[in-house]
Structure 1
Amino acid sequence: LIAEKVQHALAEGLSVIACIGETLSERESNKTEEVCVRQLKAIANKIKSADEWKRVVVAYEPVWAIGTGKVATPQQAQEVHNFLRKWFKTNAPSGVDEKIRIIYGGSVTAANCKELAQQHDVDGFLVGGASLKPEFTDICKAKQC
């Protein structure tokens, strides 16, 4: 269903933030990569060209971190983002892996954003509740440091 919504949005000329991620039980069972690949494949099967990929941002948003205050460590986030980028290199049109924006979206706050932003494959953030607080400006500036 999500993949079909992505396809429809792209067909209508919209850009998309496609959220993928695992539950806590899936993470604890070492199924993070398997789950993310399954979700990405469903989306990739609906995207027809490298031009369409230009209008897609992938947000790695572990379900266990949404609104819980729990956050992946910077190392965990980097590992997943790096894995996703490598997946794009072998499974998407040429160059998509270098241009696709892969952002992190699991309970991002002013307290954790700078360390997350320092990770090579984390291109930015999908910010939820913290976007309504004054600390949001610190999050916006995190990648500039």
Structure 2
Amino acid sequence: MSRTMVAGNWKMNTTPREGHELVRQVIDRVGTPATKVVFGVPAIQLMAVQALVKDPSGYAVAAQNMHEEQSGAFTGETSAAMLADAGIEYVILGHSERREYAGEDDELINRKIVAAIAAGLKPIYCCGEKLDIREAGNQEVVVGKQIEQALGSLSPTQIESVVIAYEPVWAIGTGVTASKEQAQQMHNYIRRMISNQFGADVAEHMTILYGGSVKPGNAAELFAQPDVDGGLVGGASLDAESFAAIVQAV
């Protein structure tokens, strides 16, 4: 089974009408994809987009967040069980914007990951370093700690449900992209971490995405790296032509 994937994170963009048209245009351009294609859409659009991606096969929908509790007095939140019952397959967790603006740390993210897996969802776990960490040469220390804290408590069975997205914070929305060598180095480090913790077979089959200003002009060289299995795409996922081109670069 291929471990490749291209996921789009729309963030807080597009109205339901705009989102419907964006998905339709991507599917029209790509047809049946050669890789898994995931639309990470605002909560208000989840069920509508889920209804759109049933045909052709190869497409799925991701929530951009979820609450760690099963239910309760948490106004404005969505549980893993709600997402699963709506047919949603993936949930993006640990994104740098959630860490920065909502104060989420890896202890909380771990709780969300465990809840997501228990409900049958597949977490897309985001990790990555800030610019000062990269400049100091400590990127592996920081990313390694993020992975250990968020994923280290999982069982080998649980970890098989997880997709990891390496997103250097200094490259998100900046137009600056990690070089293919930088991306490969970190992805290889992550895969070795997973191998050491959960075994070589789990690591070999794990999908590890690169995120950070992925666009049609750099997607092919990034995706050609042996440990880069695709991308978690931000701004370019909001343009059907660009996102389709990225999907076709895998």
TM-score clears 0.5: yes
Contact 1:22 1:35 in 2 (8 A): yes
Tell me the TM-score normalised to structure 1 length. 0.93
Greater CA deviation, 126-135 or 90-99?
Answer: 90-99
Deviation (angstroms), 1:139: 0.2
Deviation (angstroms), 1:106: 0.9
Distance in structure 2 (CA, Å) of the matches to 1:27 and 1:124:
22
Distance in structure 1 (CA, Å) of the matches to 2:152 and 2:248:
35
- Taking the TM superposition and a 5 Å limit, the aligned residue runs for 1:113-124 are 113-124=219-230
Larger radius of gyration: 2
Unaligned runs of 5+ in 2: 1-107
Deviation (angstroms), 1:92: 1.8
Distance in structure 2 (CA, Å) of the matches to 1:47 and 1:89:
13
Greater CA deviation, 22-31 or 86-95?
Answer: 86-95
What CA deviation, in whole Å up to 9, does each residue of 1:46-68 have, x standing for no partner?
312x2212210000000111111
Q: Secondary structure at the match of 1:103?
A: strand
Distance in structure 1 (CA, Å) of the matches to 2:171 and 2:110:
22
| 1:126 paired residue number | 232
Query: Superposition RMSD on alpha carbons, in Å?
Result: 1.1
Residue of structure 1 aligned with 2:195, choices 63, 72, 89: 89
Contact 1:15 1:55 in 2 (8 A): yes
Identity of aligned residues (%): 44
Amino acid at match of 1:61: E
| 1:137 paired residue number | 244
| 2:167 paired residue number | 61
Amino acid at match of 1:51: T
What CA deviation, in whole Å up to 9, does each residue of 1:108-145 have, x standing for no partner?
000110110110100010011101112111100111xx
Distance in structure 2 (CA, Å) of the matches to 1:8 and 1:46:
13
Amino acid at match of 1:67: G
- Taking the TM superposition and a 5 Å limit, the aligned residue runs for 1:36-75 are 36-48=143-155, 50-75=156-181
Deviation (angstroms), 1:94: 4.9
Alignment of 1:77 onto 2:183: yes
What CA deviation, in whole Å up to 9, does each residue of 1:70-107 have, x standing for no partner?
11000100000011111111122452111111110111
Q: Secondary structure at the match of 1:10?
A: helix
Amino acid at match of 1:17: I
Distance in structure 1 (CA, Å) of the matches to 2:125 and 2:199:
18
Distance in structure 2 (CA, Å) of the matches to 1:54 and 1:45:
13
Contact 1:78 1:122 in 2 (8 A): yes
Distance in structure 2 (CA, Å) of the matches to 1:69 and 1:20:
19
| 1:9 paired residue number | 116
Unaligned runs of 5+ in 1: none
Residue of structure 1 aligned with 2:214, choices 108, 130, 138: 108
Tell me the TM-score normalised to structure 2 length. 0.55
Residue-pair matches, total? 142
Deviation (angstroms), 1:5: 1.1
Amino acid at match of 2:172: I
Amino acid at match of 2:209: I
